Amino acid sequence: MINKLFSLGLLGSIMMSGVAYAHDAGDIIIRNGLVSVQPMDSSNDLYIAAPELGGISNGKVSVDSDTQIGLSLTYMISSQLGIELLAATPFSHDINGSGALAGAGKLADTKQLPPTLSVQYYFLEPSSALQPYAGIGINYTNFFQESTTSTLTNSIGALAAMKGAAGVTATSTALKLDDSIGMAAQVGVDYKMTENMGLNAAVWYADIATSGTIIADTNVGEVRANIDVDVNPMVYMVGAYIKF
């Protein structure tokens, strides 16, 4: 009899524990951890637009990775549907020469913030300790604090000469990157350790594209060049969550 009562009590505790651990409607889940942005980048050829000199054959750029502290906030609409906002401390990326410009090294750098709003679906029953999910949404990336290097400034003359305009020397350069709006998709998993805390890992793909304008002050007046860059990063986050 005692063994039966003990077994029933243990079963009841497990069932109650499973309910307590659930992601339920109205819950707010805050996830925090390290976020790494790994661009799968590509660009078109650098194009000298003013004066109209045309493109630099295979004159491309690449974008470096960066890791920062990330934070996401999810509001559970139901036990299996949530709305998530992803944020982070600003990411910093070096912009380097690629293709015919690969030997130039670092040409510029920028910071960016990529807030992403997603709808998430949680696949398993709410009582499951392991809770995989997937989401789809919209990413808005704001580029700011763009700066150029002396390498880029000193290269303007050589780039102009490649298009038949010899004798150009630049005294300074500036870079402006357009903001980006695109689709984003994610997969992730929560592992529940207590009623309100657990571990989390997630991966996002974001459609991020920007158009860059380089403005150079030279001895022959202002020179402008354009380049389109698809950043399209994979974004990885590992951390923990707390639920309210």
Q: So what CATH class is 2-243?
A: mainly beta
Place of tokens 């780039």: 159
pLDDT at 139 over 90: yes
Q: Provide the residue ranges of all domains of the chain, joining segments of one domain with +.
A: 2-243
pTM score: 0.86
pLDDT at 23 over 90: no
**What's the rounded mean pLDDT across residues 12-26?**
58
What does the block give as tokens for 178? Answer: 């357009």
Q: How many CB atoms lie within 10 A of CB 201?
A: 15
pLDDT band at residue 60, thresholds of 50, 70 and 90? very high
pLDDT at 16 over 80: no
**pLDDT > 70: what percent of the chain?**
91
In sequence order, the 6+-apart residues with CB closer than 8 A to the CB of 184 are: 116, 118, 136, 137, 138, 139, 204, 205, 206, 207
At residue 76, the 3 state secondary structure works out as: strand
pLDDT at 52 over 70: yes
Nearest to residue 207, comparing CAs of 114, 74, 113, 79?
Answer: 114
What is the model's pLDDT at position 17? 43
